[in-house]
Structure 1
Amino acid sequence: MNLDSCYQMIHRPHITASLPVLTTLYTQTEMLRQSTVQVQRQLVRHSSTTSSYSTQISRAREACASSLRQYDKSSYILSAYIPSPARDCFIALRAFNIEVSKITGNEESQVNKKLRSTIGVSSTDLRIKFWEETLYKIFQNPGSDQVVGEPVALLLRDSLRNGLNLDVSYLNQILMSRNEFLKRQQFQTVDELCGYGEGLYSQLNYLVQNLLLSDQLSPSTVALVEESEKLRNLITEIAAHLGQATGVASMVLATEYNAKVQDKVYLPVDVMSRFELSQEDVLRLYQGHLEEDKATKNDVELLLRDVVYETCITANDHLLTARSKLEEVKTTTKEIIKSQSQPLVNQKSGSWKKSLPDCLFVPFMNAVPLSLYLSSLEKHDFDLVKNKIQNPYWKLVSRTFRSYQTRKI
């Protein structure tokens, strides 16, 4: 019996009923009416909450995407190839890297001096601590309704709620690596530069790799990877090599900025010593102190070119190793498909490009900007002074698409 029929029975004049019956009927009707109103209010409240949360996620997504458009165009382009359920998480991870890179170690600033004299820490310490605590909160209790104002944190928490694979240890390692870098005055060897790349860029690669191996994204890819320990090791090694190569290349490309703004040179000391180039020479070159001494300026530029070339050999070696291991991945994948040991793999493998599923290959596509930068350096004879080494947007788009289609990095 619905609410309308109850009221009609009470108010029809031709119906005769005893007072107890009418009283009982009226009581039941009121209870039904109040229950209906309560349900309607709950639905409105739930709808409002859902709408509000959806709006927060939408704004956080736009904020992170905007950050990528401005500071990391290659990741912004790559986001289009990430499966839709994981895309928010991907842009949040890359935006997190941008936020961490904005943490600077300007210990001589007035703000830092004031902070150290009053509370014994610097603004750098505070920002690192902020992110450590933020990550702890969202990973400890992703279902919490506590307000999260940081767009990156909001998208990461939402990803955890959706059951995507995320390991906070990789994020903490990125923070630790950044903190160690800010305290560093120089890199003694190329191996130390590679270690920097491992602590930062390789961790990002591991994060994206694990993200795309979430069960709900591609069960067939997960089944493929679980079938072979060799395959698992190979994809991890590729992520590591690409991260180390990116670390070396990024530090080379940041030479001008570091010399002008940070008053530091992060090219490996042992390589510079081999070519008898001092850090002081590089600083004087980029800070304009050699403009009146053309002969010395020319000599320093030539020596710097040699140092850059020698350093980039290591980055290129890591890239070549990653490519070689990718060919092994293709061979191993074909063997698994041929063995027909995994029904789910057999069912889905027909749609995989070059026998590689998207969720396995897409994380390797961050090699595209690295490859373009190294090629551009070679094209300009490794001259950082006279040439501005950049990857045009159109070229990034074109090469990324080609990489996706051909399954090559």
Structure 2
Amino acid sequence: MLRSIRLVGRESCVLRYEGVEYSAHKSKRCLHTSSEKKGYDTDVYVNRVQKAQTICAEKVHKYDPSSFLLARFLPTCLRPTFYAIRSFGIELSKVSLGSASTFSQSAHFGDIKLAFWLEQVEKCEQLGTGPGHIKGLNDPTSILLADSILKGINIDIGMLRQMIFTHKHYLHEEKVKGFTDLDSMCSFGEGTYSQMNYLLQSASLTPNLYGYSDFGVGLLEQPNTDNMRNLLSDISAHIGQATAICSFIIGLKYFVMKSGCVTLPIDILVKHAISQEDTIRLLSGKEKSVESIEKLKAAIFDVTTRANDHILAARQKLDQLKAAIKDRVEHLNENDTENKMLIDTYHNLRRGLPDCIYTPFMCAIPTVLYLERLQKYDFDVMSPRLQYREWKLAWRAYQNFRKRTI
């Protein structure tokens, strides 16, 4: 299934539906109506959406600063959607990954909160055709998601549901028993981070957006492009699974200190003869045995090797995607007007990839940087130098954006 990608001009875009025109310019969204509707206050709606966007952006900045920085590479009209998707992931993570005094308390309140989010998602799915239909939405995240849907941006509700179900499964299974193996950890990544990547792909290839994603959409609408569509999905899937693995490594000490939960797969711990209790004692500073530290490093190495394998697979498929696009363009009939436009646009692209196809893959960059730092410090997750934010992200993101690499 294609998780589409369609974007607009980097500084502005315009979207219309049923006499209502939205324009986004320099991070501001305005609503203009060609005809007033009875009982509908345009200013109230615009204020709600702007407030929701501010709250979601601040939330992403606080809890996911890497994504907040990478949002600058998206056109201004897609940033609210990006903030909404990331904010949704943050809220679900708070529910399933958050600590509580007892498991029963955590599971009980977690189920209630997840039910709330499922209800909000279903209301987004049942939206009418005008902005007045968001009255039943009670959270900034769901308001911003609904606003994106009303503008015609591709938001697959099924992917949002999948994220909820994955977090619910984790709440009742892995949070209690731990990950049995690396595959279960990757499965969590597929149901969470990969879904967010698919959602951004889909939003980036929205047919209603012009001036940014014309080449990407026009190319994928060509016959016999299933291979390219599959490559798009595969790259996002690999990146999502690598991100999930690294997020659990990054949060290893946090989970131990807050809830006594070890997020390393059980089979890896068994392989290296280190128990969960030993891991907890090491990370909480109660034990400093050199032998145990080396065993933990070996376990971390095995886990992060899988994450690195996913990154390598994503890079390989990205190269295949570039080659597939080049081959497709070379075989287009120049006598066709639309094909001629695609050919002309392709020759002006950076490294053979349009922004609309590449930018959703940039979420791999923070993961790559963390893996590099972890290797530099000998896979010692307790190293104080790993606790600092990655100062190279802005420069690496800029370089990768120019070179079209991850």
Greater percentage in strand: 2
Segment drifting more, 47-56 vs 57-66: 47-56
Q: Deviations over 1:14-39 (max 9, x none)?
A: xxxxxxxxxxxxxxxxxxxxxxxxxx
Contact 2:69 2:394 in 1 (8 A): yes
Contact 1:221 1:345 in 2 (8 A): no
| 1:84 Cα deviation after fit | 2.4
| 1:109 Cα deviation after fit | 3.7
Q: In the alignment, is residue 53 of structure 1 matched against residue 49 of structure 2?
A: no
Which residue matches 2:22?
A: none
Q: 1:162 to 1:179 in 2, by over 3 A?
A: same
| 1:148 Cα deviation after fit | 2.7
Give 1:242-261 correspondences, 5 Å limit: 242-261=239-258
Equivalent position SS for 2:262 = coil
Contact 2:369 2:390 in 1 (8 A): no
In structure 1, C-alpha distance between the alignment counterparts of 2:122 and 2:236, rounded to whole Å: 25
Q: 1:205 to 1:145 in 2, by over 3 A?
A: closer
Contact 2:127 2:134 in 1 (8 A): no
Q: In the alignment, is residue 310 of structure 1 matched against residue 302 of structure 2?
A: yes
Give 1:150-189 correspondences, 5 Å limit: 150-183=139-172, 184=174, 185-189=177-181
Q: In the alignment, is residue 332 of structure 1 matched against residue 332 of structure 2?
A: no
Specify the code of the residue in structure 2 equivalent to 1:163.
Answer: G
Equivalent position SS for 1:282 = helix
Which residue matches 1:205?
A: 197
| 1:262 Cα deviation after fit | 1.4
Q: Which has the larger radius of gyration?
A: 1
Q: Unpaired segments of 5 or more residues in structure 1?
A: 1-41
Q: 1:308 to 1:110 in 2, by over 3 A?
A: closer
Equivalent position SS for 1:288 = coil
Q: In the alignment, is residue 359 of structure 1 matched against residue 351 of structure 2?
A: no
Q: In the alignment, is residue 138 of structure 1 matched against residue 127 of structure 2?
A: no
Q: In the alignment, is residue 224 of structure 1 matched against residue 213 of structure 2?
A: no
| 1:347 Cα deviation after fit | 3.7
Which residue matches 2:70?
A: 78
Equivalent position SS for 1:85 = coil
Contact 1:372 1:391 in 2 (8 A): no
Contact 2:134 2:146 in 1 (8 A): no
In structure 2, C-alpha distance between the alignment counterparts of 1:254 and 1:105, rounded to whole Å: 10
Which residue matches 2:28?
A: none
Contact 2:96 2:170 in 1 (8 A): no
Q: Deviations over 1:119-158 (max 9, x none)?
A: xx81111100000001101111244142533111111111
In structure 1, C-alpha distance between the alignment counterparts of 2:256 and 2:163, rounded to whole Å: 24
CA RMSD of aligned residues (A): 2.3
Q: Deviations over 1:312-340 (max 9, x none)?
A: 11100110010011011111111122223
In structure 2, C-alpha distance between the alignment counterparts of 1:94 and 1:240, rounded to whole Å: 16
In structure 1, C-alpha distance between the alignment counterparts of 2:48 and 2:250, rounded to whole Å: 36
Q: Deviations over 1:170-228 (max 9, x none)?
A: 11111111111122221111111111111111111111111101112323211212331
Which residue matches 1:148?
A: 137
In structure 2, C-alpha distance between the alignment counterparts of 1:107 and 1:77, rounded to whole Å: 28
Q: Deviations over 1:215-245 (max 9, x none)?
A: 1232321121233111111111101111111
Give 1:115-134 correspondences, 5 Å limit: 122-134=108-120
Runs of 4+ with >6 A deviation: 42-48, 105-108
Specify the code of the residue in structure 1 equivalent to 2:281.
Answer: R
In structure 2, C-alpha distance between the alignment counterparts of 1:97 and 1:238, rounded to whole Å: 20
Contact 2:87 2:141 in 1 (8 A): yes
Alignment: residue pair count: 357
Q: Deviations over 1:52-111 (max 9, x none)?
A: 211111111110110111111111111111122222111100011111111147796489
Structure 1 counterpart of 2:235, from 230, 238, 257: 238
In structure 2, C-alpha distance between the alignment counterparts of 1:221 and 1:391, rounded to whole Å: 37
| 1:358 Cα deviation after fit | 0.6
Q: In the alignment, is residue 192 of structure 1 matched against residue 178 of structure 2?
A: no
Which residue matches 1:280?
A: 277
Equivalent position SS for 1:352 = coil
Equivalent position SS for 1:137 = helix
Specify the code of the residue in structure 2 equivalent to 1:123.
Answer: F
Q: Unpaired segments of 5 or more residues in structure 2?
A: 1-33, 334-338
Q: 1:107 to 1:201 in 2, by over 3 A?
A: closer
Specify the code of the residue in structure 2 equivalent to 1:334.
Answer: K
In structure 2, C-alpha distance between the alignment counterparts of 1:102 and 1:53, rounded to whole Å: 28
Equivalent position SS for 1:325 = helix
Equivalent position SS for 1:340 = coil
Q: In the alignment, is residue 402 of structure 1 matched against residue 399 of structure 2?
A: yes
Larger RCO (CA within 8 A; separation ≥ 6) = 2
In structure 1, C-alpha distance between the alignment counterparts of 2:403 and 2:395, rounded to whole Å: 12
Contact 2:66 2:366 in 1 (8 A): yes
